Amino acid sequence: MCCFSQPVISVSGTNIFARPDADGRQLLVYSMTFNAEKELAMILPLPVKTPAGEKDVKFIDLKEYPDFFADMEVGFRPPPPPPSAGPLATRSQALVDKLEVVQVGNFEASFVPTQKDFSRLDERFCLPADAWKQLPQYEPYGFAVFKLKSGEMRVHPMAFSFPRQRAKELFFPTVHIHDGKVHSKAHFDHALFCQPTQDERPTTYGWKESRGHPTGFMQVQKTKGIVLPDQHCYKQEMRGMLENKDTFLVVEG
């Protein structure tokens, strides 16, 4: 699901959307339901093109489109039956400068360019140093950090774009750290969505194609350019106990 800076009671219903963007960037949208006793941060490691700076991740406010994933899901349902003859149904400035904090809808968000830059965040919103030692693959990564309130809630979609390392791969942040520890396997409750370019298709088995263009099942204008109106989307589900790692999808023409 993602990495949390404090223990959480539960996380479920994770949805992630990815699409290649112009100039070697990737768009990513993330949503979930979670319950936590304390204020905390969700940390998404990103395979950014290096060297990365604080301005290299562009956050996008989707507060006005909380049904982004609910609408996208409609594109993968069977078409409705034809109408019958009956009635129709209805439907502190410290020793170092603090990282910039951006208000993105209901969240405060920051981009942390490197692991050492976590020292510029409040310690409540950082992972324990021991956790990073167990994840050496993230040494060259940058990190999108979203500050979340305590309690149980379904968060509105969090969206941003970043400069990606690998031009032919889409990245989905699916590694789990919910208790400050790194476990080899974790419980997944994920739906992954993607929209490759017009001439590309997912190369991995198991991706289901939408039954039409997003104009037929989404309010595309509310996605602020994240979803293209005239290209099919794809979906894959990840459920149950699975290897605790991120997901990379190769897309080819």
The 8-class DSSP code of residue 84 comes to -
Can you read off the two tokens belonging to residue 173? 């942040």
90 in any annotated domain: no
Can you read off the two tokens belonging to residue 199? 């001439």
Residues shown for the chain: 253
88 in any annotated domain: no
Instruction: Give the CATH number of the domain where residue 47 resides.
Output: 2.60.40
The count of structural domains within the chain is 1
82 in any annotated domain: no
89 in any annotated domain: no
201 in any annotated domain: yes
Q: What is the pTM of this model?
A: 0.86
φ and ψ at residue 192, rounded to 5 degrees: -100, 135
Can you read off the two tokens belonging to residue 213? 């263009």
18 in any annotated domain: yes
11 in any annotated domain: yes
35 in any annotated domain: yes
Chain centroid to CA 5: 17
User: In 3D, which of 43, 40, 18, 246 has the Cα closest to residue 153?
Assistant: 40
Q: Which amino acid is at 115?
A: Q
Can you read off the two tokens belonging to residue 85? 């003859």
Can you read off the two tokens belonging to residue 107? 């969240």
Domain residues for the domain of 179 are: 3-77+96-252
Cα gap 223→217, rounded to integer Å: 13
| Tens-level pLDDT at each residue, the chain (253 residues) | 478 888 888 888 999 999 999 889 999 999 999 898 888 888 999 999 999 998 999 999 999 999 999 999 999 998 767 665 454 444 444 445 778 888 887 788 999 999 989 888 887 788 877 788 888 889 999 999 998 888 877 888 999 999 999 888 999 999 888 777 788 898 899 999 999 887 777 877 789 999 999 999 999 999 999 999 999 999 999 999 999 999 999 886 5
Q: What is the 3-state secondary structure (H, E, C) of 138-204?
A: HCCCEEEEEEECCEEEECCCEEEEEEECCCCEEEECCCCECCCCCCCEEEEEEEEEECCCCCCEECC
Q: What is the pLDDT of residue 93?
A: 44
User: In 3D, which of 202, 227, 226, 208 has the Cα closest to residue 216?
Assistant: 227
Q: Which amino acid is at 207?
A: W
- 48, 162 in Cβ contact below 8 A? yes
CA distances from 1 to 140, 171, 211 (A): 21, 13, 27
Cα gap 205→74, rounded to integer Å: 21
User: In 3D, which of 234, 249, 229 has the Cα closest to residue 75?
Assistant: 234
Residues 6 or more apart in contact with residue 117 via CB below 8 angstroms:
99
CA distances from 110 to 15, 91, 207 (A): 21, 39, 32
Q: What is the pLDDT of residue 94?
A: 44
